[in-house]
Chain A
Amino acid sequence: MQGRLLRILVAAGVVVGAGLPAATASAAPVEQNAMIRGAHLSPDTTNVDVYLTAFSGGTTVLWLSSVGYGDVSPYDWLKPGAYAVSMRPHGAAASTPAALSWTFTAKAGHAYTAAGVGMNKNLQGIIIEDELNPPSAGHGLVRVIQAASRAPHADVTAQNGTVLARSVAFSDTTPYSTLAAGNVKVTAEADDADLNTSAMVDVKSASVSSLVLLDGQNGGLTLRMIADAAGATTRPLGSVPAGGGGTAPLPLLRSERDDGPLTWLAGAAVLIGCAGLIALRRRHAVPT
């Protein structure tokens, strides 16, 4: 899909954060970016173009082009703030009214999935917040995004018996569950229809993933695993040792980086004192 999505990014400062504030090494928290991706989860809706409008500045950009059912785009950086997502039929001019629009606030350090869900006649825009907190070591977090209209309600179970979704309704998303890292068989089963599907999925340690349940190609169901976030599979303990002390001030000397007003006053006093001494010595020296 990545090849198909014409990802036209993005006029100045809308998606790619620009003009981040300067910060000193120990300053208060600085602004970070948010992250967003788009998803088409409406089984009977044709391909769409997705636009993003920043309320600050009002810039509208074509964000994703020709997104079809089952597509989930990669993430893009997004400057924190309020946005509107809007969808048009693929190829419709940007000047035409949006067929569907919805708004959300992007918070720094958070990740979001903007999705069109439901059947075409009830098409809805939603924002799903994606998890970024790490699972415990040797585990991955997995949730289910239920986008299969052929299964009005579905159960999704991992091979080891972990229930990832119980009777989750079409268009709903479950909370994340913790699974041991490794290859695991996952089975989805419709509650109210004789349909099921299985997939082998690779749960990576320290990863966060979504299993998307979709209407399949030939009347059945299908499961797709998509990565939400990845981290170091083994996290080192503690801090990072990275200095020999060769530039550290000796214990009795003050840090050169302390340039508060008192330091300046003290410095000025020393300078004036020295100058005075020099002058006095010169005066005494003159007669001889």
Chain B
Amino acid sequence: MKAAWLYIALVGVAGVVLAACGRPPAHRAAAQPSTSAAAAQPSTSAAAAQPSTSAVAAEPSTAGVAARPGQTTATPGIPAIPGGPTGPAHPAPSARPSAGVPVRLVVPSIGVDTGLESLGLLPDGTLEAPHEWGVAGWYAGGVRPGDPGPAVIAGHVDSVNGPAVFYRLRDLRPGAAATVYPRGGPALHFVVDDVRSYPKTKFPTAAVYGPTPLPELRLITCTGEFDWAAHSYLDNLVVTARLA
């Protein structure tokens, strides 16, 4: 009988320890956003010290900043061009050459190193799935990685037997690195900004494919529950990264 109680106590302790080990990541995750949120806001003390803070808005203001509290008008400190306007100071910038076709994607933190195939659209207008479980694909009808706009790379989360190229995409966290190698060009280094899942029925087409001013990357796979009848996952996981 004693032995039985000893086993029960031991296993109970082990369970508590296991449970305790499982908890801290959640606490860390909860602590981080609040810190960052505070950093993203203008701090209260700084605001109090800045007379122009109350005017902070989309509205233009000529109120002074740190260098000159209380300044209310532009000082004529920037010289006028003698004789008046002479036209643009510099020639119009020529269009930047487009990045090469992407051929390889490396995401070290989740062990991804894959070639890239070109993906097109199916006759019904949807994106075709990558043809191989272990190789990701780039949507060639969209933006090339490194060009302004969102470049889209899709990869399978699993095959019919086990994990596939983007199985660990769900483990990516903001700040992680992702590097795309274009053919004949230098490596393009991206930094993960956002990892989010969406029901496939509410896929955010505009946010994924819509215009952006700077080069961005979207890594997409499946996630959520698997619908065994339809042989399809119910959600998509979308990782957003920006060119570093």
Listed in ascending order, the chain A residues whose CB lies under 8 Å from chain B are 1-2, 4, 13, 16-17, 19-27, 29-33, 35, 37, 40, 43-48, 53, 55-58, 60, 67-71, 75, 77, 79-82, 84, 86-89, 92, 97-105, 111, 120-121, 123-127, 129-130, 132-134, 149-150, 206-208, 214-218, 222, 224, 227-249, 251, 255, 259, 264, 267-268, 271-272, 274-276, 278-280, 282-283
Residues of B within 8 A of A217 (CB): 86-88
Among residues of A, the one whose C-beta sits closest to the C-beta of B3 is A279
In Å, the complex CA distance between A280 and B4 comes to: 6
Residues of A within 8 A of B56 (CB): 55, 82, 103-105
In Å, the complex CA distance between A241 and B128 comes to: 7
In Å, the complex CA distance between A134 and B207 comes to: 9
User: Can you list 22 contacts pairing A with B, beta carbon distance less than 8 Å?
Assistant: A1-B90, A24-B29, A31-B40, A32-B240, A44-B85, A81-B42, A101-B63, A103-B56, A125-B74, A132-B213, A149-B85, A214-B88, A222-B88, A227-B213, A231-B150, A232-B141, A234-B141, A236-B127, A239-B126, A267-B15, A272-B8, A279-B4
CB atoms of A88 and B42 under 8 A apart: no
Residues of B within 8 A of A1 (CB): 90-93
With beta carbons under 8 angstroms apart, the residue of B4, B60, B201, B236 that contacts A125 is B60
Determine which residue in A29, A46, A150 has the highest number of CB atoms from chain B within 10 A of its CB, and name it. Answer: A46
**Minimum distance in angstroms from A78 CB to a CB of chain B:** 11
CB atoms of A247 and B163 under 8 A apart: yes
CB atoms of A55 and B47 under 8 A apart: yes
Segment 117-155 of B: residues with Cβ below 8 Å from A: 121, 124-127, 129-130, 133, 139, 141-143, 147-150, 152, 154-155
**Minimum distance in angstroms from A206 CB to a CB of chain B:** 6
CB atoms of B29 and A22 under 8 A apart: yes
**Minimum distance in angstroms from B1 CB to a CB of chain A:** 7
CB atoms of B212 and A248 under 8 A apart: no
Interface string of B1-44 (1 = CB under 8 A from A): 10111111011101110110010000011001101110111110
CB atoms of B124 and A237 under 8 A apart: yes
With beta carbons under 8 angstroms apart, the residue of B52, B85, B150, B196 that contacts A23 is B196
**Minimum distance in angstroms from B130 CB to a CB of chain A:** 7
A234-B141, A282-B3 known; A239 vs B200 contact (CB < 8 Å): yes
Residues of B within 8 A of A44 (CB): 80-81, 84-85
CB atoms of B222 and A240 under 8 A apart: yes
What size tier do the contact residues of chain B reach?
Answer: 35 or more
Residues of A within 8 A of B242 (CB): 33, 77
Residues of A within 8 A of B5 (CB): 279
In Å, the complex CA distance between A60 and B164 comes to: 46
Interface string of B56-79 (1 = CB under 8 A from A): 111011111111100100111111
Instruction: Say yes or no for B111: interface residue by CB 8 A criterion.
Output: no
Segment 166-209 of B: residues with Cβ below 8 Å from A: 166-167, 170, 173-175, 193-198, 200-201, 203, 205-206, 209
Residues of A within 8 A of B142 (CB): 231-234
Given contacts A44-B80, A241-B126, 20 further A-B contacts (CB under 8 A): A21-B35, A22-B29, A27-B29, A31-B33, A43-B85, A45-B78, A55-B46, A56-B39, A84-B66, A103-B65, A149-B85, A150-B85, A222-B88, A229-B149, A243-B232, A271-B11, A272-B8, A274-B11, A276-B7, A279-B8
CB atoms of A242 and B11 under 8 A apart: no
CB atoms of B62 and A268 under 8 A apart: no
Residues of A within 8 A of B240 (CB): 32
In Å, the complex CA distance between A30 and B192 comes to: 12
**Minimum distance in angstroms from A276 CB to a CB of chain B:** 6
CB atoms of B67 and A101 under 8 A apart: yes
Shortest beta-carbon contacts, A-B, top 5:
A68-B89, A99-B77, A70-B88, A248-B226, A279-B4
